[in-house]
Structure 1
Amino acid sequence: MAEIPSLPRRAFVVSEQRRKELASAFQSGAQSYDKIRPSYPDEALDFTVQNGPSTAVDIGCGSGIFTEQLAALGLDVTAVDPSADMLEVLSQRLPDIRRICASGEDTGLESDSFDLVTYAQAWHWVDHPKASAEAARLLHDGGSLTLLWNQLDVTIPWVHRLARIMHAGDVHRPELEPPLGKEFSKPEHGLWRWSMELDFADVIELTKSRSYYRKASDATRAKVEANLAWYWCEHLGHTQEAKVEVPYLTHAWRGRRRKRR
């Protein structure tokens, strides 16, 4: 992995108060989030289901982007998210999926009931020891907990600067192993590169889907949008209508549930 300037060498370290404050940004605006956030590459999906699960719970499912991909493989999927607005959008996409409005630390689901627990773009929103314990409670022995992130490929300098202007807070060093509880084996890592075609309006919508923008004042939002306009159109030289291939990467971590004593 190339050296990335100004990207934290520590990830997943934020106070509970700050985490809850930022996470609250996703209690509304699910339609706009769903419109711009990308799905996950097939290779990441293959990595997630490598052990042949038949039942899964997708925690922090949001509007159901990854839930839909799991269901398309024939898995019996339960969707969990603390945002009723997100689950409403998910219900429009997947009306037959079981939906639970709850946190990852306390889902209320049955113990020892699933082969797979997934967190797509959501592990940084939970208390890790509590969420690990809850995932372990839900899983059969030998079941898997898989954590995934789509993020801008900030090993590329112009993308790194774009991410900073956007305040893309879910961009971190993908080689940093996320904290899992003692209930899980040392996780395996997967990494895949791809690109997403975006014009300037898409970049603005993507920025608006970030917690920083959603919690910012009107003045701060206007400043972010003005900085993006300068960077995209003047510095990079794109027209607002031009479609540009923006490099992304997906990284994932998969841990197995240890046997109960």
Structure 2
Amino acid sequence: MPDPVDPPVPAISARDEPRFGSAERKGALAAAFQSQGEDYDRLRPGYPPAVLDAILAEVSGAGPRAVDLGAGTGKLSWALAQRGLAVTAVDTSRAMLETALRRGPSADPDAGSAPAAPTLDTLSTLATQVAPAEATGLPDSSAELVTVAQAWHWFDAEAASDEVTRLLAPGGVLALVWNILDVTIPWVHRLSRIMHAGDIHREDFTPTVGPGLALASRSVHQWEDPMVTGDVIDLARTRSYVITAPEERRAKVLANLDWYLHDHLGHAPGSTVHVPYRTDLFLYRVTGSL
């Protein structure tokens, strides 16, 4: 529901990619998600069918294999598995992958009992590998598709690119995906500012990848995620800025969101808000295979 009182949207972002200040700050923010598996899975949006269609249209081979790097709670992993791919979800957080196993169809309630060392746990068409994206430990040429959703900016781009080129079978595809609040809409722009959403990209943003990968195509998909107002407020709890903030600052962010949604925009508590998103999809192939 656009608010005519909100000011016009300024330039979306001056950033090519998220900025972290230091490697230590980047590591701290990345680690913050590890205890947020259940909330992240419940509140963060999935990926629209059009995005999955665009990815799979570029993947060849019968019963293709996929590796989902930085898979988190497996939102994209399971979406691909349900399209018939054999998927390995890779993440450094065992807790996030355990959430992925619990949320999937026929999930094993005892999936969290594996040892702490990197291992491979198979569940139906989904497997999990506890490992960094830059060194997965998976075999060479083990995937026709490698995906990264909401996570590429957390990796060492050069090392992760090298690992992707090693993992991809001949003719394989890398898909980098971001769900981003559609801040071209004034009320959403203000919502993102109050929420401290740090993943807003400039319009001409392209990810940094290593020289072994070449951009094949880019597409933007616009859609809406219906959420009750309380969940929109809680969505801020899954943002790294809010997770790592002192309690007083965190409470202020949540109170400001409550005011903005219920008082300023006039939504009744518990009513449904259709939150506009855009999904940016970048497809790459190994250099020389285009």
Give the TM-score taking structure 1 as reference length. Answer: 0.94
Question: Would you say the 8 A contact 1:25–1:211 is kept in 2?
Answer: yes
Question: Would you say the 8 A contact 1:153–1:249 is kept in 2?
Answer: yes
Counterpart in the other structure of 2:235: 206
Offset of residue 132 of structure 1: 0.7
SS in 1 for 2:129: strand
Separation in 2, partners of 1:3, 1:173: 13
Counterpart in the other structure of 1:58: 68
* AA aligned opposite 2:269: Q
Separation in 2, partners of 1:218, 1:3: 30
How many residues end up aligned between the 2 structures?
259
Counterpart check, 1:146 vs 2:146: no
SS in 2 for 1:51: coil
From 243, 248, 256, the equivalent of 2:277 is 248
* AA aligned opposite 1:83: S
Offset of residue 199 of structure 1: 2.3
Question: Would you say the 8 A contact 2:181–2:278 is kept in 1?
Answer: yes
Offset of residue 186 of structure 1: 2.5
Counterpart check, 1:26 vs 2:33: yes
Structure-to-structure mapping, 1:148-187, within 5 angstroms: 148-187=177-216
Could you give the per-residue CA deviations for residues 74-113 of structure 1, whole angstroms, max 9, x where no partner exists? 1111110111111101111334121111111111111121
Q: Is the alpha carbon distance of 1:174 and 1:142 closer, same or farther for their aligned partners in structure 2, counting shifts above 3 Å?
A: farther
Q: Is the alpha carbon distance of 1:252 and 1:169 closer, same or farther for their aligned partners in structure 2, counting shifts above 3 Å?
A: same
Structure 2: any 5+ residue segments left out of the alignment? 1-7, 108-122
Question: Would you say the 8 A contact 1:142–1:258 is kept in 2?
Answer: no
Separation in 2, partners of 1:174, 1:196: 21
SS in 2 for 1:7: coil
From 43, 54, 60, the equivalent of 2:50 is 43
Q: Is the alpha carbon distance of 1:71 and 1:176 closer, same or farther for their aligned partners in structure 2, counting shifts above 3 Å?
A: same
CA RMSD of aligned residues (A): 1.7
Q: Is the alpha carbon distance of 1:3 and 1:183 closer, same or farther for their aligned partners in structure 2, counting shifts above 3 Å?
A: farther
Offset of residue 13 of structure 1: 4.4
Separation in 2, partners of 1:172, 1:252: 13
Counterpart in the other structure of 1:196: 225
* AA aligned opposite 1:71: A
Separation in 1, partners of 2:103, 2:207: 30
Q: Is the alpha carbon distance of 1:241 and 1:13 closer, same or farther for their aligned partners in structure 2, counting shifts above 3 Å?
A: closer
Q: Is the alpha carbon distance of 1:227 and 1:26 closer, same or farther for their aligned partners in structure 2, counting shifts above 3 Å?
A: same
Question: Would you say the 8 A contact 2:65–2:145 is kept in 1?
Answer: yes
SS in 1 for 2:251: helix
Counterpart in the other structure of 1:5: 11
Offset of residue 235 of structure 1: 1.4
Offset of residue 39 of structure 1: 1.0
SS in 1 for 2:66: strand
Larger radius of gyration: 2
Separation in 1, partners of 2:9, 2:140: 42
Separation in 2, partners of 1:4, 1:250: 20
Counterpart check, 1:111 vs 2:111: no
Question: Would you say the 8 A contact 1:150–1:250 is kept in 2?
Answer: yes
Separation in 2, partners of 1:39, 1:6: 23
Deviates more, 1:65-74 or 1:226-235: 226-235
From 103, 109, 124, the equivalent of 1:93 is 103
SS in 2 for 1:186: strand
Offset of residue 4 of structure 1: 4.5
SS in 1 for 2:27: helix
Q: Is the alpha carbon distance of 1:108 and 1:174 closer, same or farther for their aligned partners in structure 2, counting shifts above 3 Å?
A: farther
Separation in 2, partners of 1:192, 1:22: 27
